[in-house]
């Protein structure tokens, strides 16, 4: 009780409106939390943001400072790198794969489900090849989508059924490889009897 009284007295004696703690702005947090050793370049199109990030990196992230670059171009940087398209993909329930297949991503309070479909993709040899190639591409895309959407909790992946156990192993290896780039902690189960892969991702 005596300690609490002292704390109250200190608060009363402090200057009104004095900031005790303030989180870093979003652009600085992004540099602090998301830049990896394999990141080659960070381009920033705001002079003010560039100056703040440069100052922060020179004080706390020396190896990042040399990779910063100010972008003065007239064309919006989001257009230049197709960021708007990626944002639309991240918000869409249906994510198209280059092969013609697609993902359906549904979020509920309990879990997230991702369903893989072949769509119009037809393999050159047989159905098994089509399924394998679609699942491989889906595994690559799922790893990216998890990061883009920052999905967490229980995630159920419904890959297209594969009879070949080696194909199953290769698809899981691809998924694990993609998740190595993820800063969030993940765990992945084997393919179940129902052809499902259960995983968790901690935001």
Give pLDDT, residue 198.
94
Q: Is the pLDDT of residue 15 over 80?
A: no
**Joined tokens for residue 41:** 């370049």
Q: Are residues 74 and 100 in the same domain?
A: no
Q: Are residues 42 and 121 in the same domain?
A: no
Q: Is the pLDDT of residue 13 over 70?
A: no
On whether residue 93 sits in a domain, the answer given is yes
pLDDT digits 0-9 by tens, 19-41? 667 788 888 888 888 888 888 89
Give pLDDT, residue 203.
73
pLDDT digits 0-9 by tens, 173-184? 999 999 987 888
Q: Give the chain's domain count.
A: 2
- CATH code assigned at 176: 3.40.630
pLDDT digits 0-9 by tens, 64-109? 888 999 999 888 888 888 888 878 877 899 999 988 899 999 998 8
Q: Are residues 145 and 113 in the same domain?
A: yes
CA 130/CA 27 separation, integer angstroms: 42
Domain that holds residue 176: 85-202
**Joined tokens for residue 162:** 């594969």
Q: Are residues 59 and 123 in the same domain?
A: no
Q: Is the pLDDT of residue 123 over 60?
A: no
CA-closest candidate to residue 164, choices 194, 124, 132: 132
Half-sphere exposure of 157 (CA within 13 A, CB side): 26
Q: Are residues 63 and 102 in the same domain?
A: no
Q: Are residues 99 and 156 in the same domain?
A: yes
On whether residue 138 sits in a domain, the answer given is yes
pLDDT digits 0-9 by tens, 137-188? 999 999 999 988 889 999 999 999 888 889 999 999 999 999 987 888 899 9
On whether residue 73 sits in a domain, the answer given is yes
What is the pLDDT confidence band of residue 128, given thresholds at 50, 70 and 90? confident
Give pLDDT, residue 10.
59
Q: Are residues 121 and 35 in the same domain?
A: no
On whether residue 5 sits in a domain, the answer given is no
Domain boundary among 30, 45, 79: 79
Give pLDDT, residue 5.
61
Q: Are residues 122 and 96 in the same domain?
A: yes
């Amino acid at each position: 009780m005596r300690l609490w009284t002292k704390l109250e007295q200190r608060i009363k004696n402090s200057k009104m409106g004095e900031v005790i703690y303030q989180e870093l702005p979003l652009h600085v947090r992004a540099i602090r939390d998301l830049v990896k050793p394999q990141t080659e370049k960070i381009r920033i199109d705001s002079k003010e943001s560039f100056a703040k990030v440069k100052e922060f990196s020179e004080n706390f992230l020396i190896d990042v400072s040399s990779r910063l670059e100010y972008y003065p171009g007239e064309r919006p940087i989001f257009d230049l790198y197709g960021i708007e398209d990626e944002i639309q993909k991240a918000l869409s329930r249906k994510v198209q794969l280059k092969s013609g297949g697609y993902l359906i991503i549904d979020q509920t309070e309990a879990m997230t489900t991702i369903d893989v479909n072949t769509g119009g993709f037809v393999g050159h040899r047989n159905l098994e090849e089509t399924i394998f190639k679609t699942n491989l591409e889906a595994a690559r895309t799922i790893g990216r989508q998890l990061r883009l959407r920052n999905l967490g909790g229980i995630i159920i992946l419904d890959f297209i059924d594969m009879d070949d156990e080696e194909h199953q192993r290769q698809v899981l290896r691809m998924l694990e490889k993609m998740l190595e780039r993820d800063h969030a902690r993940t765990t992945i189960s084997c393919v179940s009897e129902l052809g499902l892969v259960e995983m968790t991702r901690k935001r």
